[in-house]
Structure 1
Amino acid sequence: MSQSLRWGIIGVSEIAHDFCVALNLKFTRSEHEIVAVTSIDSPKGLTEQFARDHNIPKVWSDYHSLASDDQVEVAYISILNPLRYELCKMMIEYNKHIVCERPFCMNSRQMKEVLELAKKKGVFVMEGLWSRFFPVYRYLRELMNLTILNNVKEVYVKHGYNATSKERIVNKDCGGGVVLDIGIDAIQFVIFIYQEQPKSIKASGKINSVGVDLYVEVEMVFSGDRKATIICSGLQVFENQATVISKKGPICIPDYNCPTQLFGCNGAHEWSLISSTIPMNFRNSLGLRYEADEVMKCIRSGKLECEIVPAKEMLIITQICDEIRKQIGVRYDK
């Protein structure tokens, strides 16, 4: 049997395109194989074109067919947010491993149920927090483990882009809002640094006419009076940067959600990223290969979760999202 990890792609989204390009790079082609794709809510012909673009041999017309495909080991899910909960459960029932783009579920209740089912069935599940697999994050973890980056007292994250024309953000039926989009990126960075549930959360924001959050400011307090501030906007472009303040001074990470640079703590550091001639939809998204390679290592070693994105932290991040939405007045049906 081939040692390649065999992927089934569910949803032909922009990020799914980038993920498939990353999987098909020569750097990883011997380790990953895309064997099937499905997307039942896409315009006619789009899924077939996606398959041709990425050399995917099978196109299924429904989710059950892909779930029952014995060739598929792991499902990569990037369909609309409200549909992910039921689809994750379906894939687990068919014993498929899962990498699901963020948000993994719409709320912590759904996530708990999916995590419990995955544990019962013995399958690997992970939220696609691909930021954490970049070498910059590994370097940060090394600094923390060596206590070089210790006594962190403050974390600042500011992230913004113009999302006013993106239906998946501004439409409530799509499970929209910046909290469940770039808000998760910002929150996961804070939790990556502090590794615990906040003691308190104070949030404010701006909501559009259909009740979707397009701007949030959040202050969190952790044990030892350590603080974090995040500002996320779907209304304007910000410099997407994270700053960590410790006794050693500040560390600044440009493009913290897909970083290749770090400034501070003994100067500037930079990591190169493999290139491709294929157009991509998101900045530095070839870095999705880091995530895919780690998933393969986990699955091949029999792990049910990834130490870099542990289930405990997935749940903490989702619980923080729940509380932020509660405070600013965003409500979903489920």
Structure 2
Amino acid sequence: MNIGIMGAGVIAEKMALTLNLMEDAHCYAVASRSAEKAEAFAKAHKVEKAYGDYEEMLKDETVELVYIATPHSHHYDCAKLCLKYNKPVLCEKAFMANAKQAEEILNAFEQKGVFITEAIWTRYLPSRRMIDEVVTSKELGEVTFVTANLGYDIQGVERLQKPELAGGALLDVGVYPLNFISMVLGNEVEEITSTCTKTKTGVDEQNAVILKYRGGAMAVAHSGLLSATEQNGIVYGTEGYLIAEEINNVQNIKVYTKDRKLKWEKHVPEQLTGFEDEVRASIKAIKEGKLECEEMPHGETLRIMEMMDGLRAEWGIQYPFERE
């Protein structure tokens, strides 16, 4: 399938690398608001076509799937433009800047019968199925608690400091712990308590979230831009616990008995970059005539966006374009 990349930043570079390593996908086109940047990207990453305008790429009938790799604040407009030309979309996380945008886009694509999915790669990786199998097998007993954290020292990344670009830790980093917890405990959240500290520009620089679920299970999520964490996800059960190392791209899974003895350890299968799974899932869904990926259904994308909206409301964080 011929893929067109919308945006020419760091995440777009990783997707181009991935596509060039795949046999079942072709890195066909890239579009940027700058023709020079698009041409330089295409030359550096072996992309067949370069466009200095998003719409010009979308007019190219050879493009069969568009990967949106722009900042969160631009996803909404980019997705609307793709829909204008009936282009299927794989949109980088966080899907949109808020739930209102997400609901509008999802409804519009569904009504027009065009595929769209959120490119949060942890939902598509083999490690997700491996963890699911352990949890559903009851090897851990009944799950009672989940913790997940993701922190980096990335406070110097300019984009993340800008409210106008939907910056902050939550949408860029915090979406991973929330998704990890959701993949284990589901969506029956009864109560959420949270807090954060903010940058000088008014976006969250680190945050902590406590979730209480129907049935009594609980979870804690933490994300931040100030310092590196060990980035693990831990699932605690009545018969033992599981540690998933590096929750944003799990490399290793360890299961312990309830007396803290290592029971077994498994490495995840080798990958090209990890992005290939979301691409293949999208291609499969499109060829089957589906409008969403089973790995990340539209309802789940919307639910996580609504949760993040609620957190930001609790923290008093509103992006400038949301006030307009």
Cα deviation per residue 1:262-282 (whole Å; 9 max; x = unaligned)?
00064111124246xxxxxxx
Alignment of 1:49-128 (within 5 A): 49-128=40-119
- Alignment of 1:332 with 2:299, yes or no, is no
- TM-score when scaled to structure 1? 0.91
Cα deviation per residue 1:21-48 (whole Å; 9 max; x = unaligned)?
11111xx22x1012211111x5x63221
C-alpha displacement of 1:55? 1.7
Counterpart Cα distance in 1 of 2:54 and 2:278: 24
- Alignment of 1:47 with 2:38, yes or no, is yes
Q: Which deviates more from structure 2 when the two are superposed, residues 265-274 or residues 90-99?
A: 265-274
Code of the residue aligned with 1:270 in structure 2: it is: H
Aligned length: 315
SS of the residue 2:230 aligns to: coil
Tell me the residue number matched to 1:196. Answer: 187
- Alignment of 1:240 with 2:218, yes or no, is no
Tell me the residue number matched to 1:33. Answer: 26
Among 259, 271, 281, the residue aligned to 1:294? 281
Contact persistence 1:163–1:170 (CA under 8 A): no
C-alpha displacement of 1:298? 1.1
Code of the residue aligned with 2:151 in structure 1: it is: G
Tell me the residue number matched to 2:7. Answer: 11
Q: Alpha carbons of 1:167 and 1:197: their partners in 2 closer, same or farther (altered >3 Å)?
A: farther
Residue segments in structure 1 that go unaligned for 5+ positions in a row = 276-285
Tell me the residue number matched to 1:224. Answer: 215
CA RMSD of aligned residues (A): 1.5
C-alpha displacement of 1:181? 0.8
Alignment of 1:230-269 (within 5 A): 230-264=221-255, 266-269=263-266
Contact persistence 1:156–1:230 (CA under 8 A): yes
SS of the residue 2:16 aligns to: helix
Contact persistence 2:192–2:211 (CA under 8 A): yes
Cα deviation per residue 1:98-146 (whole Å; 9 max; x = unaligned)?
1111111111011000000010111111111101222211111223444
Code of the residue aligned with 2:157 in structure 1: it is: K
Contact persistence 2:140–2:236 (CA under 8 A): no
Alignment of 1:147-158 (within 5 A): 147-149=138-140, 151-158=142-149
Q: Alpha carbons of 1:52 and 1:255: their partners in 2 closer, same or farther (altered >3 Å)?
A: same
Contact persistence 2:148–2:177 (CA under 8 A): yes
SS of the residue 1:287 aligns to: coil
Counterpart Cα distance in 2 of 1:312 and 1:328: 25
Tell me the residue number matched to 1:281. Answer: none
Tell me the residue number matched to 2:270. Answer: 273
- Alignment of 1:161 with 2:148, yes or no, is no
Q: Alpha carbons of 1:317 and 1:6: their partners in 2 closer, same or farther (altered >3 Å)?
A: same
Cα deviation per residue 1:178-231 (whole Å; 9 max; x = unaligned)?
001111111111111122142111110011121111010100111112111011
SS of the residue 1:181 aligns to: helix
Identity %: 28
Q: Which deviates more from structure 2 when the two are superposed, residues 44-53 or residues 89-98?
A: 44-53
Residue segments in structure 2 that go unaligned for 5+ positions in a row = 257-262
Q: Alpha carbons of 1:307 and 1:209: their partners in 2 closer, same or farther (altered >3 Å)?
A: same
Code of the residue aligned with 1:269 in structure 2: it is: K
Q: Alpha carbons of 1:196 and 1:73: their partners in 2 closer, same or farther (altered >3 Å)?
A: same
Counterpart Cα distance in 2 of 1:244 and 1:118: 35
Cα deviation per residue 1:291-313 (whole Å; 9 max; x = unaligned)?
11111111111111111111111
Tell me the residue number matched to 1:22. Answer: 18
Among 132, 141, 160, the residue aligned to 2:123? 132
Code of the residue aligned with 2:178 in structure 1: it is: I
Tell me the residue number matched to 2:196. Answer: 205
Q: Which deviates more from structure 2 when the two are superposed, residues 157-166 or residues 132-141?
A: 132-141
Contact persistence 2:36–2:52 (CA under 8 A): no
SS of the residue 1:199 aligns to: strand
Contact persistence 1:93–1:121 (CA under 8 A): no
